[in-house]
């Protein structure tokens, strides 16, 4: 008897009840992708035609969309497996960021407002910049604004390589991001400076400092690498990972889960460069996961490569590739294992800007021989509550098991 939580990063299924407060009324990541595919707007050399995710449909994702928005997106209607549960959930936390979503999935909603940097240029406090440069021994920073990570590296990467200045930028999330070249600057040096920055931004209540290493020789071929690392604050309460760790359970975290939870209760970590590699890591971990164990995985490409870049066709292709691999995962599960597929927020590729969107998320569960509509859930913490009950762990402080 084991439990697996797989987070399809940013696969939202329609605006939450408070989406208008975030400027996201009408956002619908999966619904808008399916509509674009149905109208030929997501055809390219890699994929074409209606969105083809039959295994997710059989787990109930179309029905989850119907619960969230009142309609089933094109090509997502179909019979649901007898062993599937499906529903949707709206977020209780105040943000629409990665830590808030994941922590709430793990049973800890975020009750406070994060600190954010203003949409000005420069956007970082002068004292913060001076202290960072002095303590890190760098000649200065460049960027100092809200920016797309790929664009700012293309714009400033060559200058950074020549001068040694740090490329520092932020977004609508509560983040301080530092980009540096792996070869000319050094990966370990970048990590050490990010750890320093983590301490410096603590008084500002910033959720994450993110190391954004890149490679290449010039703007035309700069590329971010898989060596990203997030320096997060720890969750403000006991998560389902903490419950499992305290009980001595086998825990495996896949992808950036260990960074999101500040390496607390995350057990053995496996990383991979992209969704396919992360799927391989997940399959390997399932084969080794002990009875009573917990696996927690994040699949990042949907968000980072396609949502933020507003690439509808790329997002659709990534969903279809993920779906094609689901039978490999399902075939490795024992009859008493619990699998939950969900998301942490939206990132609608049809939306204005490049930020996350405040959306409901799907809850798709593979359980024991019964189809069940679990309805609209208030809060992602119902996932943690369900996992705790399934594994016989002490309950988390928030959420109701379904």
Q: Is the pLDDT of residue 289 over 70?
A: yes
* Domain termination residue (choose one: 167, 197, 232): 232
* Domain termination residue (choose one: 183, 207, 232): 232
Looking at the domain assignment, is residue 398 inside a domain? no
225 and 242 in a single domain? The answer is no
What is the helix (H) or strand (E) element at residue 354, kind and residue range?
A: none
Rounded to an integer, the average pLDDT of 196-212 is 96
Rounded to an integer, the average pLDDT of 23-34 is 97
Which of 368, 395, 366 has its CA nearest to residue 382? 395
Query: 199: how many CB neighbours lie within 10 A of its CB?
Result: 12
Which band of pLDDT confidence, cut at 50, 70 and 90, is reported for residue 62?
very high
Looking at the domain assignment, is residue 118 inside a domain? no
User: What would the pLDDT profile of 239-262 be if each residue is shown by its tens digit?
Assistant: 999 999 999 999 999 999 999 999
- Going from the C-alpha of 151 to that of each of 114, 120, 172, 208, 340, the distances in angstroms are 25, 18, 16, 20, 35
Rounded to an integer, the average pLDDT of 214-225 is 95
Name the DSSP class of 302.
I
| pLDDT value, residue 184 | 96
248 and 365 in a single domain? The answer is yes
The C-alpha atoms of residue 160 and residue 26 are separated, in whole angstroms, by 40
90 and 194 in a single domain? The answer is no
Domain count, the chain: 2
| pLDDT value, residue 347 | 97
CATH of the domain at 251: 3.40.720.10
Q: In terms of residue numbers, what domain contains 179?
A: 126-232
Looking at the domain assignment, is residue 181 inside a domain? yes
Looking at the domain assignment, is residue 310 inside a domain? yes
| pLDDT value, residue 82 | 87
Rounded to an integer, the average pLDDT of 158-163 is 97
Q: At what angle do helices 275-288 and 312-330 cross, to 10 degrees?
A: 20
What are φ and ψ of residue 101, in 5° steps? -65, -45
Token digits of residue 103: 């922590």
Q: Is the pLDDT of residue 7 over 80?
A: yes
* Domain termination residue (choose one: 193, 209, 232): 232
The C-alpha atoms of residue 271 and residue 60 are separated, in whole angstroms, by 28
Q: Is the pLDDT of residue 23 over 80?
A: yes
Per-chain mean pLDDT for the chain: 95
Looking at the domain assignment, is residue 70 inside a domain? yes
| pLDDT value, residue 367 | 82
261 and 217 in a single domain? The answer is no
- Going from the C-alpha of 360 to that of each of 27, 222, 370, the distances in angstroms are 10, 35, 24
Residues shown for the chain = 402
| pLDDT value, residue 226 | 87
Q: Is 149 helix (H, G, I), strand (E, B) or coil?
A: helix
Of residues 218 and 94, the one with the higher pLDDT is: 218
User: What would the pLDDT profile of 358-381 be if each residue is shown by its tens digit?
Assistant: 999 999 999 875 679 999 999 999
The C-alpha atoms of residue 49 and residue 309 are separated, in whole angstroms, by 21
What are φ and ψ of residue 166, in 5° steps? -80, 140
Looking at the domain assignment, is residue 121 inside a domain? no
């Amino acid at each position: 008897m084991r439990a697996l939580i797989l987070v399809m990063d940013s696969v939202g299924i329609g605006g939450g009840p408070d989406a208008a407060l975030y400027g996201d009324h009408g956002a619908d990541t999966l619904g808008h992708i399916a509509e674009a595919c149905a109208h030929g707007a997501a055809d390219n050399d890699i994929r074409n035609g209606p969105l083809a995710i039959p295994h997710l449909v059989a787990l109930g994702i179309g029905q989850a969309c119907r619960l969230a928005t009142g309609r089933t997106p094109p090509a997502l209607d179909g019979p649901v497996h007898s062993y599937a549960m499906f529903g949707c959930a709206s977020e209780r936390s105040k943000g629409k960021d990665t830590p808030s979503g994941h922590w709430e999935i793990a049973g800890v909603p975020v009750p406070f407002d994060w600190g954010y940097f203003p949409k000005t240029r420069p956007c970082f406090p002068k004292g913060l910049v001076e202290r960072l440069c002095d303590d890190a021994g760098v000649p200065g920073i460049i960027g100092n604004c809200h920016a797309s990570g790929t664009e700012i590296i293309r714009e400033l990467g060559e200058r950074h390589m020549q001068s040694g200045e740090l490329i520092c930028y932020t977004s609508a999330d509560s983040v301080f991001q530092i980009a540096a070249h792996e070869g000319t600057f050094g990966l370990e040096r970048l990590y050490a400076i990010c750890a320093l920055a983590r301490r410096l931004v603590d008084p500002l209540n910033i959720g994450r400092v993110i190391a954004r290493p890149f490679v290449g020789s010039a703007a035309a071929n700069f590329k971010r690498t898989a060596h990203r690392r997030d320096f997060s604050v720890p969750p403000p309460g006991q998560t389902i990972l903490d419950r499992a760790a305290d009980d001595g359970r086998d825990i495996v975290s896949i992808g950036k889960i260990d960074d999101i939870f500040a390496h607390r209760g995350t057990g053995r970590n496996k990383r991979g460069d992209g969704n396919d590699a992360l799927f391989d890591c997940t399959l390997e971990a399932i084969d080794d996961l002990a009875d009573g164990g917990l696996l927690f995985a994040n699949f990042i490409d949907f968000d980072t490569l396609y949502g933020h870049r507003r690439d509808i066709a790329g997002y659709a292709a990534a969903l279809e590739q993920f779906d094609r691999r689901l039978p490999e995962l399902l075939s490795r599960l024992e009859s008493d294992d619990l699998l939950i597929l969900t998301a942490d927020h939206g990132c609608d590729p049809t939306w204005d800007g490049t930020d996350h969107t405040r959306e409901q998320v799907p809850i798709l569960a593979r359980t024991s021989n019964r189809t069940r509509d679990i309805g609209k859930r208030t809060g992602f913490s119902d996932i943690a509550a369900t996992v705790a009950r399934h594994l016989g762990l002490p309950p988390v402080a928030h959420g109701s098991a379904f």
